[in-house]
């Protein structure tokens, strides 16, 4: 990957999961809100917080916690449509 594309990828994606990060989520949400108003479309958002995630990190370590985050992210992507954005907002929030 060329340096400019790589830097852009890093700026807009979560390093632990490869999902869109908060910055890309915010950009896409802003665009979607404009489109929904312009075209009178509907918009749905889903917010997921992993309960007791700190306990996973504290008990099994951050490597295991990162695997859990990747697994949750992957499961969410399998449920999403191609045009949907699955993002890790931060910590244990998707």
pLDDT tens digit at each of 94 positions of the chain: 789 999 999 999 999 999 999 999 999 999 999 999 999 999 999 999 999 999 999 999 999 999 999 999 999 999 999 999 999 999 999 9
Q: What is the CATH number of the domain that holds 45?
A: 3.30.70.270
If one counts the domains in the chain, the total is 1
- 14 flagged as catalytic: no
Query: Residue 49 domain-assigned?
Result: yes
Tokens (6 digits) for 50: 């992993």
Q: Give residue 48's domain range.
A: 3-79
Is 94 part of a structural domain of the chain? no
Identify the active-site residue in 51, 66, 84, 92: 92
| CB count in 10 Å sphere of residue 11 | 10
Measured in whole angstroms, the distance separating CA 27 from the mean position of its chain's CA atoms is 12
pTM as predicted: 0.88
d(Cα 83, Cα 94) in Å, to the nearest integer?
A: 17
């Amino acid at each position: 990957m060329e340096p400019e594309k790589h830097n852009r990828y890093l700026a807009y994606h979560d390093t632990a999961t490869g999902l869109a990060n908060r910055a890309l989520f915010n950009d896409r949400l802003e665009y979607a809100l404009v489109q929904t108003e312009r075209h009178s479309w509907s918009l749905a958002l889903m917010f997921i917080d992993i309960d007791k995630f700190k306990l996973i990190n504290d008990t099994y370590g951050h490597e295991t916690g990162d695997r859990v985050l990747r697994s949750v992210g992957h499961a969410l992507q399998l449920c999403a449509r191609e045009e949907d954005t699955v993002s890790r907002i931060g910590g244990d929030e998707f």
